[in-house]
Each structure stands twice: as structure tokens, then as C-alpha cells.
Amino acid sequence: MDTNKPLRYGGATKILLVAAMPKEVQELLPLFSEPPKKEVSPLGFEGWKGTTHKGQSLLVLTTGIGKVSAAVATTEAIHLFAPSLILNIGVSGTLSTSVERGDIVVANWVCYHDVYCGAEIPYGQVQGYPLRYPVETSLVEKFRETEVPFHLGGVACGDRFLSSPAEFSFIKANFPDALALDMESAAVAQTAYIHRLPLMVIRLISDTPDRADGYAQYRRFWGEKAFRSERFAAIHKLINAI
Ligand SMILES: C[C@H]1O[C@@H](n2cnc3c(N)ncnc32)[C@H](O)[C@@H]1O
């Protein structure tokens, strides 16, 4: 497969937004200018389809948690919806002392933190694919114009919820410059890469995985309605700039 030349971004008229959980998707519905139409795909993935405030066609899809669900749901939606841009949005753990709960991370690369293909291949790399998946960054300047604060950096992804100092240190040792951690972004990135589609990843920090109360922070995040909605509103501003 010749994936050396991903197609370049050619105008985001049709946006596929993938998020893992229904509670994330609920926070993204204000992106529609009118009440969207609920769709259930042949494989059973639920989505909301409609039009953005700028008249773009938008499908917001719930993939389920983890790499396989994210990849399968995204693949099916690419074939059915034929998007021109893929967005992955969701909550994340922080991997940096400079990135706090409630902060937004816009990825400029994403990688797997739980892949190992043997001694000859760098840790994290699937043989035959990039170690760090490219992410569309031509819209970052538009994001800056919104004056919404965000960090630009790497995002590490794997099939584990991280809430242990030892695991945190292991990932930091392998990817010292990564800012955020999740369970879907690199799977969506590999799927976008195979389909030669541009991808953007925006993650909202819900927890601090190297702290003993990391999982409690994550759980609490879903109870903090006002805080959460305010942070998602900042993400809406970024997406409205696309
Ligand atoms: C558990 C869900 O929340 C995201 N998520 C939020 N915090 C973390 C963390 N500390 N470790 C892994 N995934 C996390 C994942 O992407 C998944 O969708």
C-alpha cells in the first residue's frame, strides 16, 4: 500500500467528527446549526448528521472506547459519509506538568504508546507505518485567531486507562515531548492515514494520570457540568473556525 503521500487538506466541506463516548458527543451537538438527524450505521454505531453554523456537512459519531472500536467506526463512516476532514475529539490525561485539567491540547502528531514490533523497530511504531502520525496543522493559525488558549503538541494513545505513576513514567520515558494521553487518537490517525485523509485531534484534559486520584479526577470531570461545558464551548469556538 502506498501511504507515503497522504492527500493534502482540500477544504473541510464534509467533516467527520469522531468521539469515543456518548457524553462527549452530547457536548458536541451545539456545533450543529439546527437539530441534527440521528443515524445508526449498519454496524450499529450511532451518529448525528446535520449542518454546521458555517454550512459544512457534519457527522458526529460515537465510536466507543479504545483503538479497535475507534478504527472500525471511523472506517465505516469514511466509506458511508466520504468526509474531507476527520476530527477526533475527547477527554484525555495530561502527560506534562505544563498541561492542566481543563486545558485543550491540539495535536501536531499522535503515536501509540503500547505498540512494540521487536528490537529493530522503534518502540511505539507499527511496522510499515509512521512512529508519529502526521496531523493537519494548516488550520492551527485559524485556531489562534479565536484567542482560545490551547497547547500544540504530541498525543500518545493506547488501550489502557492510565492512572499509575509507574506507567506514566514509562510513557514519559518513551515520548518525553507528548502532552496528552488517550485511548483512540492514534487509531483514528492510522485509519485516516490509510485513507489518505487529513486529520485533526483536539483533546480536553480531564485527569492527571501520575496522581493516585487520577481515576477519581476523571470520574469527577463528568460531574462537573458547568466546568466541562465551559471547556467544550472553547472547543466549539476552535471547530467553528474550520
Ligand atoms: C477513558 C476514556 O477517556 C479518555 N481518557 C481520559 N483520561 C485518560 C487516561 N488517564 N488514560 C487513558 N485514557 C483516558 C480515553 O480516550 C477514553 O475514551
In a domain, 5, yes or no: no
Q: Find where cell 504508546 sits.
A: 113
Question: 222 alpha carbon to ligand 1 midpoint, in Å?
Answer: 12
What region does 54 belong to: left with phi over 0, alpha with psi -120 to 50, or beta? alpha
Give how far the C-alpha of residue 211 lies from the chain's centroid of Cα atoms, to the nearest Å. Answer: 23
Q: How confident is residue 11, by pLDDT bands cut at 50, 70 and 90? A: low
Percent of the chain topping pLDDT 90: 92
In Å, how far are 48, 121, 179, 206, 214 from 143, measured between CA atoms?
24, 35, 18, 21, 29
State how far the Cα of 124 lies from the Cα of 135, in Å rounded to an integer.
Answer: 17
Query: Is 7 inside any structural domain?
Result: no
Residue 23 lies in a domain: yes
User: What's the pLDDT tens digit per position in 13-27?
Assistant: 899 999 999 999 999
Mutation probe of ligand 1 site: the residue of 218, 220, 228, 231 with most atoms within 8 A of C-beta: 218
Catalytic pick among 2, 24, 39, 141: 24
Ligand 1 pocket residue status of 210, Cβ below 6 Å:
no
> What's the domain count of the chain?
1
Please tell me if the CB atom of residue 209 comes closer than 6 angstroms to any atom of ligand 1: yes
What local confidence, expressed as pLDDT, does residue 5 receive?
46
The mean pLDDT value for 59-73 works out to 98
Residue 212 lies in a domain: yes
As a whole number, mean pLDDT of residues 137-158 equals 95
Pairwise CA distance, residues 179 & 169, whole Å: 13
Average pLDDT over residues 178-186: 98
Q: Could you write out the three-class secondary structure of 142-211?
A: HHHHCCCCCEEEEEEECCCCCCCHHHHHHHHHHCCCEEEEECCHHHHHHHHHHCCCCEEEEEEEEECCCC
Task: Dump pLDDT digits (tens) for 186-214.
Answer: 999 999 999 999 999 999 999 999 998 99
Residue 33 domain flag: yes
- Domain range for 26 is 14-240
Asked whether residue 113 is domain-assigned, the answer is yes
- What is the DSSP-derived secondary structure letter of residue 67? H
Sign for the pseudo-dihedral over CA of 170, 92, 106, 65: positive
CATH number at residue 18: 3.40.50.1580
Alpha-helical (H) ranges within the chain are 22-28, 67-81, 140-145, 165-174, 185-194, 214-223, 225-240
